[in-house]
Structure 1
């Protein structure tokens, strides 16, 4: 049973024809520690977000992680076993950017099922993301249903504050699987989906606004701010997986 209220909204939703790609292969160089292993509500952030993806009742969840990080694998291994159509995908060149991680996820979906019509793509560091927002994205009918929010200042630019700047249309988002497959060859290096989405006519894009998505974790100052607000745990917990070593 999922005890967190933010994850309960989708519990009774029927299984749908979508899959989820969780992009979690970032190296967190500015943060200085793996953001996947920060803690929220007593569990690693990558596990928290993977469980959030599962609440949408997808056909499969594909979590892309960096190579040579056994602690990240361990944090979600039992969840993957509970959902046989799901996979952990290892990005051996995470330093090249998000595009390769996304391409790995698309290839895995293509290999797994031909019944997938839509793909939900999400990261792991939008720490105030909840199931309600994901279900709003999935309820959209356009080719792309993206999240709308602002970008909060990085500590090295303007300090940590509640002053937000720069409109963002980005993750998490839902996209038609056929369109995603068509775009896969263009996903190279740091060239992700944003420029491709911008090439679509406005009639094919819808935006679900959620100001809470502004808060992601890239720097130590942002982490300290999130912990001060109670959005992330201040002290790490000794997480125990159900998988025997």
Structure 2
């Protein structure tokens, strides 16, 4: 999705206080088929990547965190259970059909939020777990936005020219992590099928309802062994 016609800000200059209550959905049920191993269990700073990202989500002080994980993967579940025992706001949802794609995982997360009757939330922060340079200031910048959708702007890693990262953001994509009004997310739930996720729905909004927080570092996600090796060489992931 092009960001040419929507508001774009820099995360460094936009991390300010926010008022509205929010929840977090962490999408962590991917099968990592191209990578050949569970990316949830890659290590960053001595802990599984999924736990590292959950701790980032906790820094935003959400009302609750829904983390969607694949069923029948005991190591992932065990790693999260240990963290959830320390932080009761973390709630685990098992995806029995992880092969169906991210949209189904997100739909499960939305259902789990609807089932929590003691919550009063205005917006939802939606995250993946493999953007290894994601940090708390970026999440706070997303939450500081006022539009119906406040998304992240970055470029595909394979096309990213590291020496000219600022220029590449002129043709960035708009994606996760993002913050969305809760009621709008509920309205869109029925349209979430397979890999047909939020991007095509966000395109349907008028530009005035979308803001993008640009962050070139989010280009670095982990989908292939080559990307994993590069990240380990850079020290972004543990070897």
TM-score normalized by structure 1? 0.84
Structure 2: which 5+ runs fail to align?
1-14
- Once the two structures are TM-superposed, the CA of residue 15 in structure 1 deviates from its matched residue by 9.0
- Once the two structures are TM-superposed, the CA of residue 16 in structure 1 deviates from its matched residue by 5.5
Which residue of structure 2 lines up, in the alignment, with residue 117 of structure 1? 122
Match of 2:154 among 142, 149, 155: 149
- Once the two structures are TM-superposed, the CA of residue 14 in structure 1 deviates from its matched residue by 9.2
- Once the two structures are TM-superposed, the CA of residue 111 in structure 1 deviates from its matched residue by 1.1
- Once the two structures are TM-superposed, the CA of residue 178 in structure 1 deviates from its matched residue by 0.1
- Once the two structures are TM-superposed, the CA of residue 28 in structure 1 deviates from its matched residue by 0.3
Does 1:45 find its partner at 2:59?
A: no
- Once the two structures are TM-superposed, the CA of residue 65 in structure 1 deviates from its matched residue by 0.4
Which residue of structure 1 lines up, in the alignment, with residue 205 of structure 2? 200
- Please give the secondary structure, in 1, of the residue aligned with 2:237: coil
Match of 1:140 among 141, 145, 148: 145
In 2, are the aligned partners of 1:99 and 1:190 still within 8 Å (CA)?
A: yes
Cα separation, 2, equivalents of 1:80 and 1:230: 27
In 2, are the aligned partners of 1:20 and 1:53 still within 8 Å (CA)?
A: yes
Structure 1: which 5+ runs fail to align?
1-9, 235-245
Match of 1:175 among 177, 180, 196: 180
- Once the two structures are TM-superposed, the CA of residue 161 in structure 1 deviates from its matched residue by 7.1
Which residue of structure 2 lines up, in the alignment, with residue 83 of structure 1? 87
The CA RMSD over aligned residues, in Å, is 2.0
Cα deviations by residue, 1:114-145 (Å, 9 ceiling, x for unpaired): 41110000000000000000000000000000
CA distance 1:40–1:85, change in 2 (3 Å): closer
Cα separation, 2, equivalents of 1:221 and 1:161: 17
Which residue of structure 1 lines up, in the alignment, with residue 110 of structure 2? 106
Does 1:73 find its partner at 2:83?
A: no
- Please give the secondary structure, in 2, of the residue aligned with 1:78: helix
In 1, are the aligned partners of 2:18 and 2:144 still within 8 Å (CA)?
A: no
How many residues matched? Answer: 218
Task: Return the structure number with greater relative CO, CA threshold 8 A, min gap 6.
Answer: 2
Cα deviations by residue, 1:160-179 (Å, 9 ceiling, x for unpaired): 97487662100000000000
Cα separation, 1, equivalents of 2:113 and 2:147: 20
Cα separation, 2, equivalents of 1:14 and 1:190: 31
- Once the two structures are TM-superposed, the CA of residue 85 in structure 1 deviates from its matched residue by 3.7
- Once the two structures are TM-superposed, the CA of residue 79 in structure 1 deviates from its matched residue by 2.1
CA distance 1:42–1:114, change in 2 (3 Å): closer
- Once the two structures are TM-superposed, the CA of residue 41 in structure 1 deviates from its matched residue by 0.4
- Once the two structures are TM-superposed, the CA of residue 83 in structure 1 deviates from its matched residue by 3.0
Match of 1:93 among 55, 78, 97: 97
Which residue of structure 1 lines up, in the alignment, with residue 10 of structure 2? none
- Once the two structures are TM-superposed, the CA of residue 199 in structure 1 deviates from its matched residue by 0.3
